[in-house]
Structure 1
Amino acid sequence: MPEDRGPLRLGLLGCAGFARRRALPSLARLTEITLTAVASRDAGRAKLFAGEFGGEPVAGYEELLARDDLDAVYVPLPAALHAPWTGRALEAGLHVLVEKPAAATAAEADRLTRAARERGLVVMENFGFVHHAQQEAARSLLDEGAIGELRSLTAEFAFPPLPDTDIRYQPGLGGGALLDAGVYPIRTARLFLGDELEVTGASLREDPGRGVDVAGAALLTGPTGISAHLGFGFVHSYRCGYTLWGSAGRIGLNRAYSARDDFTPTLTLERDGRVEERRLVPDQQFTTLFRRFAAAVRDQDVAGPAHDLAQQARLVERIAATARRLPL
């Protein structure tokens, strides 16, 4: 960041629809970050985003990285481009906030985290849901012993088939259910069970015509025997939640991963033969995410975000390598 501790000067590397819908409106609320430049390979699209959210339009990613008025970049490109362009941004001396998955393999993650450490830069993977207050509400109840001792976790993120032209059906762009939807339940398992998780079973259902996995499941086990049962895919009815099952009850969230800013979450607490539904307050998870990214840069917290990124990639890779693959 600038020596005077002014706002973090951010460049947008890629004008993705998700960034326009969710991330950039949240960024606009902050004083800690200013959008300085917007890059797209389509000059018209860069101008459109810049006109809507501010910053100077730039025709091309290389031109953005060559600027001398940036401290960091946000990378919302297709999955297969995350690691290459994050690496190039780090080489250019820029901090990076990158959409999930930041890396598809442990080797990719190691290259990124090594580059960040060597240069004293922050590289953070964007899992917005982790920063929503509903996760803190579930954690607080668990820590208070509201459901006794945790025995298992079940987490699912799945939705109906996508349009045929969706990039998540394109293997060359890092498509597939594991890298798109599956990473959310995996991150949930790490959130509550830690990083010492063993993959004790996994399966992936593949669409032979498209060449990508469109559904999957995994069973993970922690060092004390607590299990995580994960499901994900593009061929289901909608499901976006998790359940913590303890010795004396259960805690559940039904919209854990895609809560919009105005959404009122409902937490379900089951214990003593009763079911209680608690309405939680709406929260701006992406605003909190950007604020924490700026704080990590300010505080030079290089190790924490890099560790999270690397642990996530290693677990995803182990699931992919372990999975039994079956045709849909």
Structure 2
Amino acid sequence: MPAVKLLLIGLSRFARRRVLPAAVALDGIETVDVASAHGGGSVVDELSKPGRRYTDWRAALDGTEPALVYVSTVNSTHAEVVRHALRRGHHVVVDKPAFLTLDTAEELVALARSQGRVLAEATNYAFHPVFSPDLTKGITKAVAVFTPPVPPEDFRHDRSSGGGAFLDTGPYFASLGRVLWDVEPDDVHVIVGDRTPDGLELAYSVLAGYPGGRTIVGQFGFTTHYRNALQLLGPGVAIDVPRPFSAPPDLTVDLHLEVDGRHQTRSVLPADSMELFLAAVLDAVHEGTREFDSPLLSDARTRARVVQSAKR
């Protein structure tokens, strides 16, 4: 398959730490252009596949032949950038949360379909081999905790920037039932814990029911000590999954299992979930498939249910 150019719009910490290393490691990506208000500086100079630098994302999109675009900007700007990119004929990957509302997600997936372009939300943790199909055999319950602290000056504490725990950590909860069992919840109950003075949620607890008697209990947010853990339970089986939502590329993930009273450890070799995710996106680009539409819309529907439950 021919290699494609990648245009990275925004140089977030996540983009520097995970997207750029994965992109330069893939044979399917030829060069990496960067559009950032600060021009990219030494970050671009040090890339092994350096491309052009832009200070204006519109100029970058308008001046680039149709390629693959990765959007890693403030949440509130995702829709504007993605809309412009799709209309210019680009395939697009966007950081989670892809969009602030279900209506916007539906609009832009429809636009991507009409343009014959891939639109994917970067829920890359799901591509780690720890989430192989045999992980959930006999599993009917999950307990998830994801509480990465976020300093008060970060945009995630700002409503106008698309902040809040429902958008920041919501994609992890929203996708978990889909990743484990390929289902959406049919019942969601949410209790909001901490809020900003203007009422923006910073932490929440959730209980969700899924078809077949499955349930997920979760604690998400960014006002407590860091925890990143997943417990999977079923009749006679329990599995502890460390670092499920952000396993580093060099981490051997040791699953701790108890099956019918017997303890064992199963090791999953290191893997870069972002690299695996981007490789799947490139396959979809070359083959013209649409497997990323359904996950994006499913997770947007579930996040919308979380918001509605909290209002009740």
- TM-score, reference length from structure 2: 0.94
5+ residue gaps in structure 1?
Answer: 144-148
- Please state whether the residue corresponding to 1:203 is helix, strand or coil: strand
Amino acid at match of 2:215: S
Identity %: 30
Provide closer, same or farther for how the CA distance between residues 280 and 261 of structure 1 changes in structure 2, counting only shifts above 3 A: same
Write the distance in 2 (CA, Å) between the matches of 1:196 and 1:173.
28
Which of 58, 61, 67 matches 2:54?
A: 58
Give unpaired runs (5+ residues) of structure 2. Answer: none
Residues paired across the two proteins, number: 310
In structure 1, the residue matched to 2:293 is 306
3-state DSSP of counterpart to 1:129: helix
Match among 124, 129, 134 for residue 128 of structure 1: 124
Query: Separation in 1 of the partners of 2:24 and 2:112?
Result: 26
Deviation of 1:278 after TM superposition, in Å, equals 2.3
Q: Which amino acid aligns with 1:117?
A: R
Whole-Å separation in 1 of the counterparts to 2:78 and 2:171: 15
Amino acid at match of 2:216: A
Amino acid at match of 2:208: L
For the residues of structure 2 that align with 1:22 and 1:72, how far apart are their CA atoms?
17
For residue 154 of structure 1, give the secondary structure of its aligned residue in structure 2.
strand
Pick aligned residue for 2:43 from 29, 49, 58: 49
Cα distance in 1 for partners of 2:46, 2:78 equals 24
Task: Please name the residue that 1:275 is paired with.
Answer: 263
| Partner of residue 177, structure 2 | 189
Partner of 1:80: 76
Residue 204 (structure 1) aligns with? 192
Do residues 103 (structure 1) and 91 (structure 2) align?
no
Task: Please report the TM-score for the alignment, with normalisation by the length of structure 1.
Answer: 0.89
Please state if 1:318 is matched with 2:312.
Answer: no
Give the secondary structure class of the aligned counterpart of 1:38.
Answer: strand
Superposition deviation, residue 206 in structure 1: 3.9
**Which residue number in structure 2 is paired with residue 146 of structure 1?**
none
Q: Which amino acid aligns with 2:121?
A: E
Superposition deviation, residue 22 in structure 1: 1.4
Q: Does 1:159 align with 2:172?
A: no
Within 2, Cα distance between the matches of 1:141 and 1:58?
Answer: 43
- Quick check: 1:199–1:319 contact (8 Å CA) kept in 2? no
Runs ≥4 in structure 1, deviation > 4 angstroms? Answer: none
Counterparts of 1:5-24 in structure 2, within 5 Å, are 5-24=1-20
In 1, the alpha carbon distance for the partners of 2:263 and 2:173 equals: 24
The answer on whether the counterparts of 1:9 and 1:69 sit within 8 Å (CA) in structure 2 is no
Deviations 1:83-124 (A, max 9, x none): 221111111111001110112211011111000010110000
Distance 1:8 1:119 in 2: 18
Partner of 2:254: 266
Q: CA RMSD in A?
A: 1.7
Select between 245-254 and 234-243 the one with higher mean Cα deviation: 234-243
Q: Distance in 2 between matches of 1:91 and 1:37?
A: 19
Cα distance in 1 for partners of 2:193, 2:19 equals 31
1:219 alignment partner AA: L
